[in-house]
Amino acid sequence: MVISNSAVLPGKLHCLIPLSPDKARVPFRQINQSIAVTSLLRTTTSWDGTRYAGYPAGQPEITVLKITLSPHSLLPWHIHPVPSAVYILDGELTVENHINGEKITLRKGSVMPDMVNRIHRGFTRDQHASLIVFYAGSPGMILTQPVSCR
């Protein structure tokens, strides 16, 4: 699993980009001499080490949600039927695995590959949490399914 990997591309790119309808296309290198690229996550497993089995069949659909939780919030136990990734914009979020009680705490700038079809929940303590969640599903899919746990 790659969590962080930085690279800088030199300003010798030969692609053209449109600036606006009234301006001609100009080489990208004339606009920006370098581009910093940081890989935040590349993985075949969720945060607990479980391998992803595959994507849903049919037309792919990417969904991106911004979620904000107040301090001392508790999400219900749930599953995701599709691969997803969480990026923490601000604050702190703890994610708990229902099966073994394992927990991971994410802070600002953290990224986490979420669990698929495994019961878990998230909660905040004294800090709020603002996060972006990216889901790789298909049209009409329920991305988060609450689960009753005793």
What's the start-to-end Cα distance of the chain, in Å?
Answer: 33
135-149 mean pLDDT: 94
Position 22 scores a pLDDT of 47
Residue-by-residue DSSP string for 86-125: EEEEEEEEEEEETTT--EEEEETT-EEEPPSSS-EEEE-S
Span 67-79, pLDDT tens digits: 999 999 999 999 9
In contact, 148 and 67? CB cutoff 8 Å: no
Q: Could you give the CA distance from residue 121 to residue 101 in angstroms, rounded to a whole number?
A: 10
DSSP state of 2: B
Position 25 scores a pLDDT of 53
List of domains in the chain:
5-39 (no CATH), 61-146 (2.60.120.10)
Q: Could you give the CA distance from residue 24 to residue 47 in angstroms, rounded to a whole number?
A: 46
Span 4-26, pLDDT tens digits: 344 444 444 444 444 444 445 55
